[in-house]
Structure 1
């Protein structure tokens, strides 16, 4: 009986070690996400525009992240935007948004993105993201994007926004 008990304990110990190895992240690692983006206020030399007053704009970001290691990654995001006012609602812009990711401490990530819009604008977008709930197979996050845009015969603009999403 002692040999059976010894065999059982060795088997149990070996299987626990195998299970623990499954929790190790392997790189490169591919993740994806979806979200809802609300631009809050946009500043330019001509005017200050706020969302939710004369119109409502919502963006629907969809992205893929390729993490090279635990701290550095690449990201590719596409963001169709819908604008609705008292007369019409329509897709008014599609943003192509590649960038680099830097994982920071305390579940924060910085994304430095370049921006190409179908509206003819282009620019950069620094984004600070925080994971607010971590689960085994998905995470909930909030982001603060700060797009700076140029071109298409408009003055330079700076927007502050809020994004909520799920990463998997």
Structure 2
């Protein structure tokens, strides 16, 4: 498939969050009506909105800090009703949507604050799974590899580079 990049469109910036509790990862099933990855299992997350920083006071004379972390916190509250703490970096990737808009995706991880999950209408189910259990779900391509990377990092303290497992 030849990809035709439309340079007139900006990238979407998306932040996803792998939540870890009791050595299990939170995955959620996307609704069938979703444009991207309908019916697939993934982790919560969503797009950066201008309001995520523009309505806040700048941290320096020219900059807003912790924007991605704030986006993830907003998305987690909206999608699964949870907050997060102890955030860390997993990996990043680019995905080009069917409408040719490129999405820069930054994958973070953290611990959930609270345990009562309330799904938004874009998600239809959720599970807490370990790596072995995750194999039994129809995950978005690459998601299992991210879980493996994170699992290795948590065991060894060494950041891994994404590669197909």
TM range (shorter): under 0.3
Larger RCO (CA under 8 A, 6+ residues apart) = 2
Compare the two structures and name the one with the higher helix fraction: 2
With structure 2 as the length reference, what TM-score do the two structures score?
A: 0.28
Compare the two structures and name the one with the higher strand fraction: 1
